[in-house]
Amino acid sequence: MNRSVPSSNGSSSPKPARSRLPSFEREPAPRKLSAAQCSRRLRTISSNAKPSGSSSAQPPPSDRTRTKSTTKAPPRSRPTEQEPVTPSTAPALSLKEAIALKRAEAKKALAAQKSTAMHVSSAGIEDASPSTWGAATADDDDLGRLSVRETIERARSSGSLNIASRDLPCLPSALFEIHLSVTPEKLSSVPEEPPLPEKPSRRVTSNSTTWYDQQDLTFLRARNNQIVEIQHEISLFGSLKTIDLQHNRLVSLPESFADLTSLVNLDLSHNALTSLPTLFFALPSLSVLDISHNSLTTLPFNMPFDPAKKTPAPSRRSSDFYSAPEIVRATRPLPHLTSLDASHNKIVASAIHSHGIPQDLKTFNLTYNPLADVAELLTSLSAVTQLVELRMSKCDIDDTSFPTSLLSSPANARPFPKLAVLDLEETRVTKESVSGAFSAVAQTIDFEASINDPRTVPAGTLAVAVGKRIVREAWEIEAERHAQRLLEKRSGANLRAASAASAAPPPPPQPVVKEQWEIDAEQGLLSEGAQRRARAEAAQRAADDVAVAASATDAPQALDRYWDARSLTLTFPPSTSRSVRPGASASSKDPLPRATLPLALIAPQSFADTLRVLDLRGRRAEPAFVLPEGDDYGPLLPQLETLNLEGCALSNAVPGAEAAEGGTLRVLARLFPSLRNLELAYNNLTGAALAREVLEELVFASEANGGGARRAGLRRLCLCGNKIGELDGLRELAQAVFGAEGGDRDECRNRWTLEELDVRENSIAALAGELGLLPLDIFLVDGNLFRVPPRRVWEREGTKGLLTWLRGRLGN
């Protein structure tokens, strides 16, 4: 219902009933947004937000300039490029924690903008912006995580608390109040903590965990916060085993921190620590300690055990905590410590208590410290029997720390018994000084082995890295590991073969008598349908044998369908397929033998003298050559130029040609004198098939002499995907022909015909420098085991660059 309000000129105009707020038009009720819509709106606002101290901050809009608000989200703008740079040394965060960090930064920018743009005047609600209706509280989490208080509540039943990436200035007092019913003292650096909700949400209630279900806190993760100080009441959590406080702003720890005697894993990296508590190195159970990226200047292992210093009083006061358990400390420095990372600090070697080094230490990292003279430290570390990895790269160390008498102490008869990795990269230490100083160790010193992982170092070897850091690509590391596994497999096979040869011959096996139903089950003939199919296949095989026997008269008609007169090509189907003659029934099979190369069937054909391309791909059912009777491997198919035997399961010697010296390749060279292209990809050939004499017959042209046929010489040889492990025959040929001097070399170069050689996807472990002498146009070597030369040599410069690089190795 509207009512008329008289205007100044006496006229009346309709006004809405709710006219008490003249500065506002009627707004639709704010609607609930989904989580995805809230996230999109938050990203849009955060990308457009400006710092509160910026000079470009706009004043709050007045009621005269305020426009009508809408329920539509503002247009999405491109995010700014001013994102915080994460240090390269920061550990990888989980996806949830990374998103939480980005959202926290967006919230900060949004809060700064609101504090500048929203000023409620003394007029009351008239000047308030309607955009604040239904705004999120400070404890809401954009990732759907529980609030801090709810997370602390739930930790009572699990014993594990994760409050990482919450922008906390200190550990919440609610942690001590909820778990211990103790109110901690206020910290001098954090006089006022950010308030937490008094009551948890309806998902978790304060009575959700009963007293008999409550667990002692054993895991605490508070990384990626703004914590500057820890309450001394932290010692009351005596069951804590793991504490993660990395990426905070800690300058020191309370003395009571050393009362956490159950602590096993402690991460204090990426803080600003300048010292550690007095009794810190008396923790009895600590196993893994990370104090990297701090400002420490000393490692006082013996400080808790120094009789000249008075031991401080226990941090737990019995008058306040009469039921607190007794604190049992270690009698020697960190007796169970196995891993210590003290890299990126300001530690000098003279400030390390070398006589108090933990004796169970396996990994010790002092990278990026101004160590200076480390001779005394190395002498003490040589007596640590469990030490496996010692890293001191990027430190101020030179040869004066490595005298020849470094490890010659008679008290230490066996220095560094288990040391596998010594990292001295990017220091001024030389190989000669390390070799002389470590001559007393039992291990073999290797300056070329990888130091990335001690597990990859062979047993009895000490991998040492000096000088500049060598960065290897991932494929080089994988190739090295593959070669190592292959070598271990071959050595194991050789040992098994040797042991089998030396063992006594086993007794002959007794024949196993099987019943008929067992034989039928093995052959799959238990059903009546399977038996019918078996009988039909047997009858078909008999018919095939009869057809093959009659192939001498029926062969011309049988092979016509495979012959292409236009391209002079004969293409046989793969042996796994069953081809049917045109117009024949499905049960009539071709009289084509299953052998890979049935020359006895091809040679009598009328087109045999003009055949130029023979395609036999995939004929692997019976890898054999069927030659005409009485053939002594003389020339056949005189015009054949291209032979394709890809995927035929051929080995160095095939049935039907066993008597030929040199194996498969020599038989092919003698049978087909005009052959120019030979495709032998994806077979079972090894390096032994590429003997020098065989290659000479394949790749050198020759004139007819002594009644023999003229040889054209191969132009292309494809051996991709075989089992070739070395190219010794090709190396000998290159060295003897192209590395020699005199007229014979010029004559051989004139007869050389090979232009393309493909040895990809084999097991070649090394490329000899002599291969660079070969006059090849295309040399394909991808997919092998060798690491030198690196892949970029031929990827950037092709075959020419690869051959040039190999020739350059001859001078070395």
Of 220-234, 251-265, 300-314, where does mean pLDDT reach its minimum?
300-314
How much is the pLDDT for 482? 81
Of 97-101, 426-430, 658-662, where does mean pLDDT reach its minimum?
658-662
Q: Residues 6 or more apart from 663 whose CB is under 8 A from it?
A: 652, 653, 657, 688, 689, 694
Answer whether residue 116 shows pLDDT above 80. Answer: no
- Are 302 and 357 spatial neighbours (Cβ–Cβ below 8 Å)? no
State pLDDT tens for residues 761-807.
999 999 998 898 888 999 999 999 998 888 888 888 899 999 999 98
Percent residues over pLDDT 70 in the chain: 69
Element (H, E) at 679: strand 677-679
Q: Which residue has the higher pLDDT, 365 or 632?
A: 365
Answer whether residue 390 shows pLDDT above 90. Answer: yes
Helix (H, G, I), strand (E, B) or coil at 620: coil
Q: For the chain, what is the radius of gyration of the CA atoms? A: 42
Q: How confident is the model at residue 72 (pLDDT cuts 50, 70, 90)?
A: very low
Q: How confident is the model at residue 368 (pLDDT cuts 50, 70, 90)?
A: very high
State pLDDT tens for residues 605-619.
888 888 999 999 988
- Burial label for 164, CB within 10 Å (0-12, 13-18, 19+), is buried
Which of 686-689's residues contact partners 24+ apart within 8 Å by CB, and which partners? 686/651, 686/652, 686/722, 686/723, 686/724, 686/725, 687/724, 687/725, 687/726, 687/727, 687/728, 687/729, 688/652, 688/663, 689/652, 689/663, 689/664, 689/665
Residue spans of the domains in the chain: they are 96-116+137-145, 555-809
What is the sign of the dihedral through the CA atoms of 13, 19, 23 and 25?
A: negative
> Average of pLDDT values for 226-240?
93
Of 33-47, 64-78, 280-294, 435-449, where does mean pLDDT reach its minimum?
64-78
| Greatest mean pLDDT among 306-320, 334-348, 398-412, 576-590 | 334-348
Answer whether residue 556 shows pLDDT above 50. Answer: no
Of the candidates 727, 686, 766, 762, the residue with the CA atom closest to the CA atom of residue 480? 766
| Greatest mean pLDDT among 80-94, 274-288, 497-511, 558-572 | 274-288
Q: How confident is the model at residue 348 (pLDDT cuts 50, 70, 90)?
A: very high
Q: How confident is the model at residue 115 (pLDDT cuts 50, 70, 90)?
A: low
Q: Residues 6 or more apart from 279 whose CB is under 8 A from it?
A: 255, 258, 304, 311, 312, 329
State pLDDT tens for residues 642-673.
999 999 989 988 887 765 566 888 888 888 88
Whether domain 555-809 has CATH 3.80.10.10: the reply is: yes
How much is the pLDDT for 579? 41
- Are 302 and 280 spatial neighbours (Cβ–Cβ below 8 Å)? no
* Average pLDDT value for the chain: 77
> Average of pLDDT values for 356-381?
94
State pLDDT tens for residues 447-486.
988 888 888 888 899 999 998 876 667 777 778 778 878 8
Q: How far from chain centre, in Å, is Cα 65?
A: 58
Q: What is the DSSP string of 8-77?
A: TTS-EEEE-S--S-TT----PPPPP--HHHHHHHHHHHHHH---TT-TTPPPPPPTTTPPPP-SSPPPP-
Q: Which residues does residue 598 pair with via DSSP β-bridges, in sequence order?
A: 626
Of 45-49, 508-512, 604-608, 683-687, where does mean pLDDT reach its minimum?
45-49
Q: How confident is the model at residue 498 (pLDDT cuts 50, 70, 90)?
A: low
Q: Residues 6 or more apart from 278 whose CB is under 8 A from it?
A: 255, 258, 303, 304, 311, 312
- Are 428 and 401 spatial neighbours (Cβ–Cβ below 8 Å)? no
- Ramachandran region, residue 271 (left: φ > 0; alpha: ψ -120 to 50; beta: rest): beta
How much is the pLDDT for 262? 94
